[in-house]
Amino acid sequence: MRTHPLALITRTLLAAGLLAAPAATQDKPLYLDPTAALDKRLDDLLPRLSLDEKLALIRANGKFRSGGVPRLGIPYLWTADGPQGVREELGLDSWESAKRTDDFVTAMPVGMALASSWDPELAKLYGKVIGEEARARDKHVMLGPALNIQRTPLCGRTYDYFGEDPWLSGRMTVGYVQGMQNEQVAACIKHFALNNQETNRHAINVEADERTLREIYLPAFEAGVKEGGALSVMAAYNKFRGQHAGHHDYLLNQILKNEWGFKGSVISDWSGTHDTREAALNGLDLEMGTVRPYENYYLARAYKEGLLRGEYPMSTLDDKARRNLRVLFTTGAVEGRKPGFINTPAHLDAARQVAQDGIVLLKNTGGLLPIDLTKVKSIAVIGENAVRTFAAGGNAAGVKAFREVDMLQGIVKRVGSAADITYATGYRQPVRRNFWERDGAGVRRSELDPKYLAEAAGLADRAVAAAKTADLVIFVGGLTHQAFADDEGVDRRDLSLPSGQDALIARIVEANPRTVVALISGGPVLMPWLDKAPAVLQAWYGGSEAGTALARVLFGDANPSGKLPCTFPKALADIPAHQGGARTFPGENGTVHYDEGLLVGYRWFDTKHVEPLFPFGFGLSYTSFAYGPLTVTPGSSALEPTLALDITNSGQREGAEVVQLYVRAKKARVMRPEKELKGFAKVLLKPGETRRVNLKLDGRSFAYYAPEAKAWRVDAGEYELLVGTSSRDIRQAGSFKVVKPAVLPK
């Protein structure tokens, strides 16, 4: 943990009695008075800074470091990846590992696993864990969470995100940000905005209409800023309407800062800055990772020369410096922070809870799950993913996990001596070969070396033989963070399972119909064997306690309660982004067109009546739930009804249900999707228990964005309120009438 040299010297002299403590608060400059209002402290500090000191605050002087004014006791600002935990330490000016032994941390499950919990309070705990560990590692800004909407499941970073729905993404974002920032660590919500593919991510130009921008791709960021209070925002790599998002006047100045009132710092993605004038004037506050010497950054010498020539107002520099200082002061970097904690039992338990609550039970024919060890005496565990670990990622921001329980370890520990366990690899994914060169984000180009293809037949045959002799099979397959799987910098090529897994699963199920398939991936995959496999679990990448979590669900110690945060399609062609050829993905002539508009994910499937493999919001349980009648009560405001209904656990096991509320405009004046998620609640119930669930709506629940008015508008008319257990399983319905049209305040 780093301690600022000035603070260390001061504490040493005070302890030795060689330096007298200040007699009164007024003896200190106002900016060093922690009892003073933050804006007054910043007002006091800014005039004390020289031009060069202000410039130092707005660009990097290390791979993850910036700022620092030693003569005034202002420390460096330290940032770190990433959304799932604090990245291992790198060299100050290098992308290579620093080879330290004190940077092992808790690996949290990926964003899609967290989103599958549909639990904002769990998201808050998630943020708290990362915040405490970041503080222990002396990081001021964590570069997460990642909020980009899943437009296509081929996106290589889908695993990082919270799925396809802006409302769900927003609720998880608020919890995550608040949990982290309560621990004196700034959340940096990313990537703002429309970063929905990895192919050509540094240059692709996105064309999307205004309603699509406002209703699909911005709401999670808006929630993170307005409700979560995010202290920093990372700008995206891509262009939007012809201008790089890293210094985009409309996105950063007009929307983020002016409309939403964002007072924090806009940070570039690494190597995401391209022009001094745009960076100076269009809302960028901190330039990181540009591939050139630090003094040659766009916001360094060139910006200084422009300021001195009068090309840029000095007020632009003061605003940038002030925003970065706000982050430093708010995180306690100046007066010192409370100690942090790493790899505590509570942190590992939180990782297990998230992984467990994010597991989605997709199929359970005949009640094969949970596994009854009084009836099962031999288990064959098959699949390379059963013994893989994933925290280090591929090109993703890697976490050096203190421990990572793989799936086989979790199963073996849980079963103990109750049954015999055999393991067969079954398949082996090609080896990843990294090349030495890295891009500006530190991502290495890589390829897959088909090293193990020759042994594939033998591996499969041995796995089938193991399946035949076992009472039950647990197949653990899916993707990895290998190239063209779930990997930063490159998108998937298709939705199929790699390495012949589909054919292998079909053979295994034929050899032993009592087969459970557990899939590890960051997004949807195709399942051509689904009608034959009796039980299927979606387990995502589960972090440090992935194996423990899966074992608890498999053997009934925990009842699965996860719900899909994204639609699983039957075919890639069913996805709207893949309806228009290269024009709509991955783009042609440098531009990708979001022709599907608002119809992303279930909005498309439900509006166009396309049958999914599994719908958005879907997830089974080991128990069952009954939905009582729905009542709708008008609120004190004309646009704030409250819905109430009773949920009863009608089964034999304790379990949690996610009650989902969708809104449908009966007769829309403008194009509206078939239905849109506008509320949800997760309720834990004992067998036979009934609980009243209340869901409150507001004006935005009924609104659409009207570009001509530059505002959110609610039309008069009837709105259906649909309550169910997924977007395709509506259990109760009510209605609400808007008597007068309204334009909502910003």
Active-site amino acid positions: 269
Q: Which is it for strands 65-69 and 74-80: parallel, antiparallel or unpaired?
A: antiparallel
Inter-axis angle of helices 301-308 and 314-330, nearest 10: 130
| DSSP element (H, E) containing 222 | helix 219-226
Three-state SS at 144: coil
Nearest-angstrom CA–CA distance, 684 and 699: 29
Nearest-angstrom CA–CA distance, 103 and 208: 42
Residue with tokens 């596994």: 371
Nearest-angstrom CA–CA distance, 716 and 739: 5
Buried b (16+ CB within 10 A) or exposed e, 170-183: bbbbbbbbbbbbeb
Structure tokens at 222: 């808006």
Residue with tokens 């405001």: 637
Nearest-angstrom CA–CA distance, 623 and 221: 36
Distant-in-sequence contacts of 94-103, Cβ < 8 A, 24+ apart: 94/63, 95/63, 95/438, 95/442, 103/137, 103/400
Structure tokens at 493: 């090529």
Nearest-angstrom CA–CA distance, 161 and 191: 10
Nearest-angstrom CA–CA distance, 336 and 325: 14
Nearest-angstrom CA–CA distance, 498 and 525: 10
Structure tokens at 714: 């609610």
Structure tokens at 199: 């192919």
Burial class for 47, CB neighbours closer than 10 Å (0-12, 13-18, 19+): exposed
Least Cα distance to 283 among 325, 262, 254, 253 occurs for 253
Inter-axis angle of helices 219-226 and 166-181, nearest 10: 30
| DSSP element (H, E) containing 301 | helix 301-308
Nearest-angstrom CA–CA distance, 126 and 354: 8
Nearest-angstrom CA–CA distance, 176 and 653: 30
Three-state SS at 66: strand
Q: 706 forms bridges with which residues in the sheet?
A: 711
Nearest-angstrom CA–CA distance, 391 and 348: 14
**Would you state the torsion angle of the CA atoms of residues 188, 192, 197, 202, taken in this order, to the nearest 10 degrees?**
-90
Q: Which is it for strands 205-207 and 141-142: parallel, antiparallel or unpaired?
A: unpaired
Nearest-angstrom CA–CA distance, 710 and 596: 21
- Whether residue 73 contacts residue 134, with contact meaning beta carbons closer than 8 Å, is answered with no
Q: 243 forms bridges with which residues in the sheet?
A: 240
